[in-house]
Amino acid sequence: MKVLITGANGQLGKDLVQVFGQDSHHEIYAFGRDKLDITDADQCSHVVSSLRPDVVIHSASYTAVDQAESDIEGAYRVNADGTRNVVVAAERAGSRFCYISTDYVFDGTSSVPYREYDNTNPQSVYGQSKRAGEVLVQSLSSRFYIVRTSWVYGIYGSNFVKTMLKLGKEKSALKVVDDQVGSPTYTLDLSRFLLELTATEKYGLYHASNQGQCSWYEFAKAIFEESGLEVEVNPCATKDFPRPAPRPGFSLLDSLAIRTNGFTELRPWREALKDFLKRLEDGQS
């Protein structure tokens, strides 16, 4: 199967290339922003039509959440227009299309986990632009998977786990917000699910994050406990760290579609964290 991956140099993209590449049945075509400008419709059309992949996994995204508040056009140019360019090219080539989305499409006011077909109400420009991408995928692709995920971390790039480990070696005490609840997602586990999903014709919306829930404060405590760092972690409120973009207070995703379609749910988040830390310590890539 021919697989084209956008955002291939990103945190998720690199794990996607690795996981899909380990399957001898797949030909991988990996495109970072240096090789494919998704905001260029003609370039997208040329690349996809020449390769004619069986599936396109679109992980390229504008992810600078706070910057997006003042760079509205930039966020929409990538997350909406760029997604449209890739999905139109994929549809013309007869390719299945997999779009990676986010928990930020919800407003975070729920008290129960969000299911795939619950109403969206994004509060940030980032979330609004990603939701726009979802709408375009649903409108323009006849065979799509939209996969929302949350609190992503992995071996490659910057993320919360790496930041905590760095700060934990520099400081004896930290404050971390305790009023935002969700579920961390390990990119390797997400990549393995996408490998399973895109081999099927079970199209539609999916929520994919590691099982269980925690606050950022609880996540930080777990990181230090599992890594053996002695750091005092103190809870604080979101208002103590004002940032340009609003964050969902509760963005736990219910993986209902994974269960009803017979897929295996991602493992518990703490188990995934242990494996990540071991991989990081061993210097694996």
Of the candidates 77, 111, 276, the residue with the CA atom closest to the CA atom of residue 190: 276
Chain segment 25-60, per-residue pLDDT in tens: 899 999 999 999 999 999 999 999 999 999 999 999
> For the residues of 124-173, what is the DSSP string, one character each?
SHHHHHHHHHHHHHHHH-SSEEEEEE-SEE-SSS--HHHHHHHHHHH-SE
Chain segment 225-275, per-residue pLDDT in tens: 999 999 999 999 999 989 999 999 999 999 999 999 999 999 999 999 999
pLDDT of amino acid 284 = 60
Instruction: Give the C-alpha separation, 231 to 25, whole Å.
Output: 46
pLDDT of amino acid 5 = 98
Would you say how long the chain is, in residues?
285
pLDDT of amino acid 130 = 98
pTM of this structure: 0.97
pLDDT of amino acid 282 = 86
Phi, psi of 177, deg, nearest 5:
-65, 140
The residues annotated as belonging to the active site are 126
pLDDT of amino acid 24 = 83
Element (H, E) at 116: none
% of the chain residues with pLDDT over 90: 96
Domains of the chain, earliest start first? 2-158+183-210+251-267 (3.40.50.720)
